[in-house]
Amino acid sequence: MNLKAKYTSLIKAEAQRLGFLSCGISKAEFLEAEAPRLEKWLNKNMNGEMRYMENHFDKRLDPTILVSDSKSVVSLILNYFPEEVQKDATAPKLSKYAYGTDYHFIIKDKLKLLTQFIQEEIGAVSGRAFVDSAPVLDKAWAAKSGLGWIGKHSNLLTQQVGSFYFIAELIIDLDLEYDSPTTDHCGSCTACIDACPTQAIVAPYVVDGSKCISYFTIELKEQIPESVKGQFNDWMFGCDVCQDVCPWNRFSKSHNEPLFNPHPELLSMTKKDWEEVTQDTFNKVFKKSAVKRTKFSGLTRNIRFLKK
């Protein structure tokens, strides 16, 4: 076995040991196919108030600018599909990814361990870890690395486990064996397009971010426009509709990461509990949660918007 193959299988085995669903590797190079797509998307203002999407255009498309001397992009996916969901069907809904501890912390810790392993087993390898927190096109790299295909709802999809997982990367200065992209298995299905409450999937594979419920309930800092009143299907933080209706998510299996388990009170909170939620309850239930991004004021704004 040559060194490249040896290092590649070492990294993939350790990623699996750390709990990642799978690991794929691509050559660190300019994402040629993504460049015109991203430019067109930004020109149509589909990023809404997410102005940060306009920054670092070159870095988003070329990891060698982001991490000097980089040779490989190691893409990893981590399952977050919960065993149980909220019990009160009439209560305001929370996206499943936000049930437990904020994924940024959990995945960063795992990536730290993976980086340490690489340095101990292989030598002086340098690079950077990314968890949805820098100008990196996670889904494009995961697809390029053969971890799945980008579905019509623009999420990464796999035949084996659907789409309820996080994506992260290590961009490193080590030559490895590269994986090939997989094929698209959406076929003629339009379930996600048909089900989107705000018609945010404006064409197959194109999501207008400024129309997405996740954008309104998390990213938008001002008042939610009255024009989308009554279209939120009770979502108060994020939205899972396009994933919930996807036939491939029949194969989702619950995660085995204890830190992704929700606070004991969260799933049993009723509609009334949410409508009367206090700062104290918010602090307790969402102590280390991604929901803190929207703050208590943002969450209560969203709940009021659903109520009116």
DSSP 229-294: TT-STTEEE---HHHHT-GGGGG------GGGSPPTTGGG--HHHHHT--HHHHHHHTTT-GGGGG
- Cα-only R_g, the chain: 20
- Distance CA(158)–CA(167), nearest Å, equals 13
Residue 45, pLDDT score: 86
Spatial distance between the Cα atoms of 139 and 151, rounded to a whole number of angstroms: 10
Residue (of 196, 218, 170, 147) closest to 63 by Cα position: 170
Query: Which pLDDT belongs to residue 36?
Result: 87
From 58, 69, 109, 132, the catalytic residue: 132
Strands 201-203 and 206-207: antiparallel
Give me the average pLDDT of each 10-residue run along the chain (308 residues): 92 97 96 88 85 82 92 98 96 97 96 96 93 87 97 96 97 97 97 98 95 96 94 97 97 95 94 97 94 95 91
Got the DSSP string for 149-181? EE-TTSSEEBTTTBT-EEEEEEEES---PPP--
Distance CA 284, CA 279 (A): 9
What's the burial of 133, exposed, middle or buried (CB within 10 Å: 0-12/13-18/19+)?
exposed
Q: What is the pLDDT of residue 132?
A: 83
Identify the pLDDT of residue 113.
Answer: 97
> Has 58 been annotated as catalytic?
no
Predicted local distance difference test score (pLDDT) of residue 128 = 94
Looking at 16-79, which runs of residues are DSSP E strands? 22-27, 72-79
SS3 (DSSP) at 79: strand
